[in-house]
Structure 1
């Protein structure tokens, strides 16, 4: 039995997958300590997972504080075999790894957050944040459509802007795993986690990209026949509604999405990830990180 410590960033979208990995580790007989922001501590219900709560939101190397004294104090005498960390805690994790002479594994997750959802008929799930222009376009696009529209804002809608009234159902945060099994299409900006979860459930994707990463993924999704792209400067009620309508009527895209769903479901998920990590450690891999010359930490 090994002791694994997980250090995700302070977002539901990173805590959720880290927690799933932790559950798989416990199932395989390991001990797990999850270091997370205090607002997420209530998400952990498993008796085999210990939590250490901190109050650091966005760590940036050399410019912010880190919960270093807290972690060292709480893990004194119970050091981990491996430290798993989100890239936002790179400096802290590598410093701890050097002090403890332990290997590190970087976490790079992209998932949705938790909320309650009750499906009503066929649905389109939309996850675009709360840009007023995009929300108004979406609200207008499906105002007279026969779809059940579910919108995930990612955070509270802006005061005075379009909100829940623009949609059939709207949520501050909505986990894809609760909505996508009932969705025919996902409309999103093209975050990797959103796209992969849609494909896991066999839902084609309409991507409205905002960043180079989004555009890169949108090109591949379109090339593989798994969805379509609507460029932001072409986003109107008509173009969005047309894109969704053509997508759900395209038999080839639906078949491609079903095949990709089978591939994703057969990939092994977190259980296989933990198994590979166990094998990696058993083979003697994993060296502690080099010392860092400078890091700002919390005092006291």
Structure 2
């Protein structure tokens, strides 16, 4: 199951899990975390059966199993269940780990429960978790979502070693709050520190380009090309939107043509770009 999960064969993990049930194999501490993880990745709502099996097998008191359940419910959107499992961790005398808190924070953002996020931050500080590479981006994001950029930046600055996810979280927080100059300063600092940007970095920084003109947008686009991300749908979508808002419809169209497998986001972006630039006939041509 570990090997299959690590290589992305999620359906096969569930198959092995079901076969184990049929043969009456015993579970251990590692079985359910993998099963909940693949359910999260697959968006499977069959987790209810797995959760019941956790109870019946006596693993409900295992913090790694509980963390897997929190992560699943958070990603699928069963927010009431997320908080119920989190309460269960405390009631059973367990201490939530870094992964548990990192899974819970995005739920707080989506529900607008920023006060709960502050409490989680306090708990993480008390437990000594504030150097965790998964928890720190989640904390930066929730403060960014709440518009409290000073605390988000304090958390960012406290870490001497930062991975690309942490840089992305802070850049995204600035962009989201329309602090575009700060976004670019941080993006430049990231490159100077030899941290390689990824798809998420460009999705976070490209929307800020429209505030600085075409030269800036073209420079970031060049970075995208150098790193080979031009065919990534999420990156292409934001580039199309950027060029459209800068009035460069030809570049937006050129990018859309280079994406081999277009989804509805690409089509919507190019149509919206034509409409934004009052190219009515071209927009209807894409709808026909």
Q: State the TM-score, normalized to the length of structure 1.
A: 0.21
In terms of fraction of residues, the more strand-rich structure is 1
Rg larger for: 2
Higher RCO structure, 1 or 2 (CA under 8 Å, sep 6+)? 1
In terms of fraction of residues, the more helix-rich structure is 2
